[in-house]
Amino acid sequence: MVYKKGEKLISVYWFTILVIVAVGIVLMVNSYYGNSYDVREVEAEILSEKVANCIYFGGKVHPLLLTPQGVFREDFRDNFMERCSLNFDVQSEFTPIPYYVGVQFLTFEDSRTFFKFSVGNNNYKSDCEIKLGGSEKLAKCVEKEFYMKTSSEKIYLVKILSIVGKTNENTN
């Protein structure tokens, strides 16, 4: 079999094209699967929305939050997780709880703290104050504020701080 000079030249170009396509595929797969996605901030926003909707939804205060006289009920604080359908349980007994939620009710007139409670891992609160570079290994914090009007026409400022830790699962 006799090869012509043109056939050898085409086979070199064909091999070069195959190498370029193979390298392109490897680079695309590596860029897609090579980086982890950090969804902790979005998860903290969803958590704060869920808590806000539990406390005050559609212009109505949760029926078990206040007494008919407008006093905050202690049993709502004690049963907050069940009332708002939250579950912070983790798979392992040696893993700390990766969540924290703090709710604070302030009076509208003078912004005094009227009622507050929190659930979850209190150790993450210090991570919210750090604003330095390299903070991707710290917990993600989201603060949410809204006004709540009760049936007795009292207005409260509600502040929700939600924190998601999960630093081992979401960072490299």
For residue range 95-134, list pLDDT tens digits in order: 778 899 999 999 888 878 888 899 988 888 888 887 776 6
The residue whose two tokens read 């490897």 is 26
Amino acid at 40: R
Average pLDDT over residues 154-164: 92
Distance CA 15, CA 83 (A): 66
The whole-angstrom separation of Cα 155 and Cα 96 is 36
**Lowest mean pLDDT across 86-90, 97-101, 121-125, 141-145:** 86-90
pLDDT over 70 at 30, yes or no: yes
Whether 126 contacts 148, CB under 8 Å: no
H or E stretch at 27: helix 5-33
Walk across the sheet containing 140-149 and list its strands: 113-120, 99-107, 155-164, 140-149
Q: Which of 162, 126, 118 is nearest to 141 (CA)?
A: 162
pLDDT digits (tens, 9 = 90+) for 49-82: 999 999 998 888 888 888 888 788 888 888 999 9
pTM: 0.74
Q: Which residue has the higher pLDDT, 139 or 91?
A: 139
